[in-house]
Chains A and B, each alone.
Chain A
Amino acid sequence: MNLSNLSLEFLVLQLLNGLSLSMLLFLLAAGLSLIFGLMNVINLAHGAFYLLGAYFGFSLLNWTNSFWLAFLLAPLGVGLVGLVTEWGLLRWLYQRDHLNQVILTFGLAYVLADVMRWIWGGDPKSLPAPEPFNGFVQILGRQFPTYRLFVIGFSLLLALFLWLLLEKTRLGAIIRAGVSDQEMARGLGINVGFTFTLIFSFGVALAGLAGVIAGPYQSFGPGVDFDTLILALIVVVIGGLGTLSGAFCGAIVLGLADTFGKVFFPELAQFVIYAVMAGVLLVRPTGLFSRSPV
């Protein structure tokens, strides 16, 4: 990168690039973080659910010819798979050690990967950007894809919605009650088992949503599931475990680090995100926003 080329427009555009990546990472990490924060379960199949969302979107788009219908239905489909997973597999392991959950969800990731390869094959796939976001706009004399602006806007709204849902609604109160003191919650007539099923399905549906929303600008195929899982884990580690604000800030840090890393040291781009993670851990060992220092 020739530094004499640096201009305000260039930096602003790169900032937008970074933010659009950040927001995608937020969608991705939010589900992982919610499931961990509320249920204390590390879901290593999260990347597989992301990819499943993308593939569901792909097939739904082919059947219905409507991106927005696919956009709506794919996360629901993934949520349904999550529901079956929680109900059929995961809930039998809550009483056991975490290693059991880790092994179960990691194994599930492999099973899903093979099933997906079997159904959708090995070639990379992508989704077309939908109307009216399939063009680009001029920003400071440069072109920027409208779809990325949509991703930024949509994710910000979703973050706000999630925060309000958890902090300000009765449902949020029930969820938090079920998490902080199950015995008491049960005594008050709250169905804790059902609450957990709901959280898991919801978190997994968020992964599916991330998959379908990323489809128009990042292609997907075998292997994307594990790459994605690692990114999501890094976001959660940077941001602090189990909080929504942690996932949000972790995603912003990682998205910007990755983008500006690519701008200034393209050959070292991969190293930069790990360096940032290591740096954050050195300065704030519990992550930027940790719920409780353990």
Chain B
Amino acid sequence: MDRITKIKIGRRKFLRVSAMVAAGGVLLAACGDTVSPTNTPAAGTTTVAGGATSLKLGVLLPFSGVYTQLGLDIVDGMNLYFESIGGVVAGRKIELLKEDEENDPQAALRKTKKLIESDKVDLLTGIVSSAVALGIRDTVDQAKTILVISNAGAKDITGARFSKYIFRTSFSNGQVPYPLGEWAYKNVGKKIFMTAPDYAAGRESVEGFKATFVKAGGTVVGEVYPPFGKTSDYAPFLTQIQQAKPEAVYAFYSGTEAVNFVKQYEQFGLKKDIPLVAAGFIVEQDTLPALGGAALGIKSTLHYADSLDTPENKKFVADFTSKYKRTPTTFALQGFDSARFIVEGLKVVNGDTTNKENLVKALEGVKFISPRGPLEIDPTNHGLTQNIYLRDVVAGSDGKPMNKVISTFEKIQDINTLLKN
């Protein structure tokens, strides 16, 4: 065994192997993890006391790949709400049929058809990816199955590709920074540099911010859109920002990209001269621990802050934390609210899911006070009207950075409504 035979690898072979690995890596990254948890309960109708059949709710969320955590957060939020009402609405037992959206429109379409055609679900909810939401839109619309979107923020879902059967209880990409534009013009600087990853959510976020910033009189001195999911070194862009000499920078990033951008922003000494304003995703529970001090002082807007000082939010945070042993994220809250939205609508029609037109009307009228504040559906496009909070990252009582709400913009509508005005 101690004789080691050397086999020469040819260059071609090496290249072939490298190419194979590169392609494989990309593929596997797209497919995500090896886990595919579809713990779908057995299909079939169970009858509860009183004779009413159970309410079958199809839940389509990412349970593998990069958005796994978002999917888990949303499902946990939903379960928290359903449990708080005993798992029953209008005499019907609520039954969740979970499927993995896989962050892939093709796969998600297959799962949607399965849920609608063979599982015969009464309603659909979930959807993290905007591409998935737009990909299943026609199928859902034709089947007249009501879909309550609990994340995907693309403008077109409640705009150009509106469907009367689709509601969104999360946010729209442009809605989140919309009030920030004007605020930044008045309080931070008149000349802005804007940056976001080069994909729909990034572009739409910048569009929302820019709308009010420019209207207020501000000037855009530069903008740059690095490739989405492929950029870890922001140095060339930061040097460009120094060159453009803006008075403030608007950024939309999340996850790993947010950590890299914000840390490098500080390391290049930009933070002390050029204040950073951002869409709130940049400084959330997933990035704050890694950012540490680099996050302090960042002003951002979001439709939620876990530090909101309202009885509804305190109860939500306490209940979620005691049940799941972790603090709720914005996504968990969105799941919680989606569940409540569905339940409130069903109560109005007394649990009758067969008359779709009645249920649509009922859902259009739903209003309630969520942990994030008062919510109502915009009947013109089925987007959400909600508060947007301006938050400042400060050191909390435990020394760790946290978002402190410094101002509330009330009743901010869906971006499609806002841009029309």
| A279 located at the interface, meaning its Cβ lies under 8 Å from any Cβ of chain B in the complex | no
Task: Name B398-413 residues within 8 Å CB distance of A.
Answer: none
> Which chain B residues border A260 with CB–CB below 8 Å?
236
- With both chains docked as a complex, state the minimum distance between the C-beta of A121 and any C-beta of chain B, in angstroms: 9
Asked if A126 CB lies within 8 Å of chain B CBs, one says yes
Q: Are B290 and A219 in contact (CB under 8 A)?
A: yes
A124–B263 Cα distance when bound, in Å, is 12
**Contacting residues, chain B, for A145 (C-beta < 8 A):** 264, 267-269
Does B36 count as interface, using CB distance less than 8 angstroms? Answer: no
Q: Is the CB of A219 within 8 A of B2?
A: no
**Residue of B2, B256, B259 with most partner-chain A CB within 10 A:** B256
When the two chains form their complex, are residues B232 and A5 in contact, meaning their CB atoms are under 8 A apart?
no
Which A-chain residue is minimally distant from B228 (CB atoms)? A270
Which chain B residues numbered 239 to 291 have a C-beta less than 8 Å away from chain A?
239-240, 242-244, 255-256, 259-260, 263-264, 267-270, 286-287, 289-291
Which of B8-16, B335-343, B363-371 is the contact stretch? B8-16
Residue numbers in B under 8 Å from A153 (CB-CB): none
User: In the complex, which of the residues B3, B21, B232 contacts A44, with contact meaning CB atoms closer than 8 Å?
Assistant: B21
B11-59 with Cβ < 8 A to chain A = 11, 13-15, 17-18, 21-22, 24-25, 28-29, 34
A262 touches B11 (CB 8 A): no
Taking a contact as CB atoms under 8 Å apart, the answer to whether A226 and B269 are in contact is no
Q: Is A42 an interface residue (CB 8 A)?
A: yes
State how many angstroms separate the Cβ of A109 from the closest Cβ of chain B.
9
- With A and B bound together, what is the CA distance between A233 and B16 in angstroms? 11
User: Closest approach, in angstroms, between the C-beta of A284 and any C-beta of chain B?
Assistant: 11
How many Å from the CB of A130 to the closest CB on chain B? 12
Shortest Cβ distance from B198 into A: residue: A267
Q: Mark A1-26, 1 if CB is under 8 A from B, else 0.
A: 11001010010011001101100000
Q: Is A31 an interface residue (CB 8 A)?
A: no
* Known pairs A136-B269, A230-B21, A286-B11; A1 contacts B263 (CB<8 A): no
Q: Which of A259-278 contact B (CB under 8 A)?
A: 259-260, 262-263, 266-267, 269-270
With A124-B255, A147-B267 as contacts: A17 and B230 at CB distance below 8 Å: no
B292 at interface, CB cutoff 8 A = yes
A294 adjacent to B21 (CB under 8 Å):
no
- Pairwise interchain contact B21-A229, C-beta atoms closer than 8 A: yes
**Residue from the list A126, A136, A143 in contact with B263, Cβ < 8 A:** A126
Residue A102 at the chain B interface, CB threshold 8 Å? yes
Q: Contact check, A230 vs B242: say whether CB atoms are below 8 A apart.
A: no
Q: Across the interface, do A237 and B267 meet the contact criterion of CB distance under 8 Å?
A: no
Main secondary structure on B side of the interface with A: helix
Closest to B242 in A: A142
The residues of A that contact B13 with a CB separation of less than 8 Å are: 98
A87 contacts partner chain B, Cβ-Cβ < 8 Å = no
B224 at the interface (CB under 8 A from A): yes
* Contact between chains at B22 and A230 (CB < 8 Å): yes
User: In the assembled complex, which residues on chain B have CB atoms less than 8 Å from the CB atom of A241?
Assistant: 11, 14
Give the size range of B's interface with the partner.
35 or more
Whether the pair A193, B2 counts as a contact (CB closer than 8 A) is yes
> Does A182 have its Cβ within 8 Å of any Cβ on chain B?
yes
Alpha-carbon distance between A145 and B271 when the two chains are bound, in angstroms: 12
Number of interface residues of A (CB under 8 A): 76
- Assess the B243–A17 pair: CB atoms within 8 A: no
Query: What is the chain A residue whose CB lies nearest that of B35?
Result: A114
Task: Collect the chain B residues with CB atoms within 8 Å of residue A192's CB.
Answer: 2, 4
Q: Which residue of A lies closest to B235 (CB)?
A: A17
Q: How far is the CA of A223 from the CA of B64 in the complex (A)?
A: 13
Q: Give chain A residues whose Cβ lies under 8 Å from the Cβ of B353.
A: none
* A223 engages B235 (CB within 8 Å): no
- Which one of B15, B28, B224, B235 contacts A266 once the chains associate, using CB atoms below 8 Å? B224
Q: Do B290 and A95 touch (CB < 8 A)? A: no
| Least Cβ–Cβ distance between B70 and chain A, in angstroms | 11
B290 touches A20 (CB 8 A): no
The answer to whether A42 touches B239 (Cβ under 8 A) is no
In the complex, the chain A residue whose C-beta lies closest to that of B13 is: A98
B66 at the interface (CB under 8 A from A): yes
Q: Is the CB of B268 within 8 A of A219?
A: no
- Docked pose: A222 CA to B65 CA in angstroms: 10
Tell whether, in the assembled complex, residue A21 and residue B230 are in contact, meaning their CB atoms are under 8 Å apart: no
Contacts A14-B236, A143-B268, A294-B10 given; does A233 touch B18 at CB 8 Å? yes
Chain B, Cβ-Cβ closest to A94 = B4
Q: Which of B4, B69, B232, B236 is the most central at the interface, judged by chain A CB atoms within 10 Å of its CB?
A: B236
Docked CA distance A135–B25 (Å): 36
**Interchain CB contact under 8 A, B22 and A21:** no
18 CB contacts below 8 A, A to B, read: A10-B243, A17-B236, A94-B5, A98-B9, A98-B13, A102-B17, A123-B286, A124-B287, A144-B268, A147-B267, A226-B29, A230-B22, A262-B231, A262-B237, A266-B225, A270-B230, A294-B10, A294-B11
A219-B259, A270-B227 known; 19 other A-B pairs, CB under 8 Å? A17-B239, A92-B1, A94-B5, A106-B21, A114-B34, A126-B290, A136-B267, A136-B268, A192-B4, A216-B263, A217-B263, A227-B230, A259-B235, A260-B236, A262-B226, A266-B225, A266-B227, A269-B227, A293-B11
Q: Chain B residues in contact with chain A, CB under 8 A?
A: 1-11, 13-15, 17-18, 21-22, 24-25, 28-29, 34, 66, 68-69, 198, 222, 224-227, 230-233, 235-237, 239-240, 242-244, 255-256, 259-260, 263-264, 267-270, 286-287, 289-292
